[in-house]
Structure 1
């Protein structure tokens, strides 16, 4: 028996489930960003995380579903939503972090691959929606709700449409138009979403 497998076996059953899960998600997130979605197999992740394939099959229905959850765990610290009391500044800060995450931190290709896989794999689609897209959307809506309650936004402002305008524009450029973009786009997006195109 190899030293690596012996080490894995000795540790099995002694680590708390939460610790094992965290190590699996960390290993998966690292592989996803460094090598892309094809690198995410239960064999490879089990090896990298010092876990067992049985554990992975028990917790995730497919490698794609695991990759989607790992992407959320990996991106969450980067994409934290600030609340400084100035919604326009906070939107610029968060969207700038998001665009940098895509364009500088090598997340664009894994994101495109995951969204592509979600079109044909129901498990990936469910994981992407439940573990990433809806939670991220709700964080944005919550920040906008606070701004609305504080009088920074009109009482009748459609928060869902604002979210679509801001983050949807980034996904549109990334996935549909496939054109380069960077954080210089962000202030213009935020200005347009909050102030509109009508003459002032």
Structure 2
């Protein structure tokens, strides 16, 4: 009797680690956006992703850290930063996408929960900073840096302050003031950040 091929004996075999990780992040982000941060547990994510809890414990120090990375993975394509050569238009496009992500795609409540929980959970705080906040900030800085090199911003313009003025205003309204906001604020935010509120000095 002839031996079976090796791949027939092994069956499908193990999935590549990158595929497993992507599946886990997709499952975690779905749970997060649908049911909130407290629903993101290793048990539930492993079950929905068809993975093992051992794998999740190996890759993430806590469910909160997993949720933070999943939030970034889910938002990354939605919040891509355009570069059309027109800085004002690109900032407006990106900020409108950010507001829609929060308001229309269900990300507002999970984001508030993640930021709040990060104040008490060191693993989540680190994951939020490294997986979401810093990468998002650097994408904005890169676009502003290009505009600076092209002469659309002053050479001495502080790029971090511009980022704070734009996205910080959204986070302040959402997390501190807890007041409604929508896309109608976007053009005003961009124009104030780029051109200032005061008239020209004589």
TM-score of the two chains, using structure 2 as the length reference = 0.93
Residues 1:176 and 2:176 are matched in the alignment: yes
Aligned to 2:188: 188
How far residue 187 of structure 1 moved from its aligned partner, in angstroms, is 0.3
CA RMSD of aligned residues (A): 1.3
Q: For the Cα contact (< 8 Å) 1:12–1:51, is it kept in 2?
A: no
- Secondary structure in 2 matching 1:56: helix
The CA deviation string for residues 111-150 of structure 1, in whole angstroms up to 9 with x for no partner, is 0000001000000000000000000000000000000000
Aligned to 1:103: 103
How far residue 11 of structure 1 moved from its aligned partner, in angstroms, is 8.7
Aligned to 1:133: 133
Give the ranges of 4+ consecutive aligned residues of structure 1 lying more than 6 Å apart after TM superposition: none
Aligned to 2:5: none
In the alignment, the residues of structure 2 paired with residue 73 and residue 52 of structure 1 have an alpha-carbon distance, to the nearest angstrom, of 20
The CA deviation string for residues 151-195 of structure 1, in whole angstroms up to 9 with x for no partner, is 000000000000000000000000000000001110000000000
Residues 1:197 and 2:188 are matched in the alignment: no
Q: Can you give the 5+ residue segments of structure 1 that lack an aligned partner in the other structure? A: 1-9
In the alignment, the residues of structure 1 paired with residue 13 and residue 174 of structure 2 have an alpha-carbon distance, to the nearest angstrom, of 43
How far residue 14 of structure 1 moved from its aligned partner, in angstroms, is 1.1
How far residue 103 of structure 1 moved from its aligned partner, in angstroms, is 1.0
Larger Rg: 2
Correspondence 1:35-114 to 2 at 5 A: 35-114=35-114
Distance of aligned partners of 1:13 and 1:51 in 2 relative to their CA distance in 1, 3 Å threshold: farther
Q: For the Cα contact (< 8 Å) 1:69–1:132, is it kept in 2?
A: yes
How far residue 198 of structure 1 moved from its aligned partner, in angstroms, is 1.1
- Secondary structure in 2 matching 1:80: coil
Q: Can you give the 5+ residue segments of structure 2 that lack an aligned partner in the other structure? A: 1-9
How far residue 199 of structure 1 moved from its aligned partner, in angstroms, is 1.1
The CA deviation string for residues 27-46 of structure 1, in whole angstroms up to 9 with x for no partner, is 00111111110110000000
In the alignment, the residues of structure 2 paired with residue 14 and residue 148 of structure 1 have an alpha-carbon distance, to the nearest angstrom, of 48
- Secondary structure in 2 matching 1:153: coil
The number of residues matched between the two structures is 191
How far residue 197 of structure 1 moved from its aligned partner, in angstroms, is 0.7
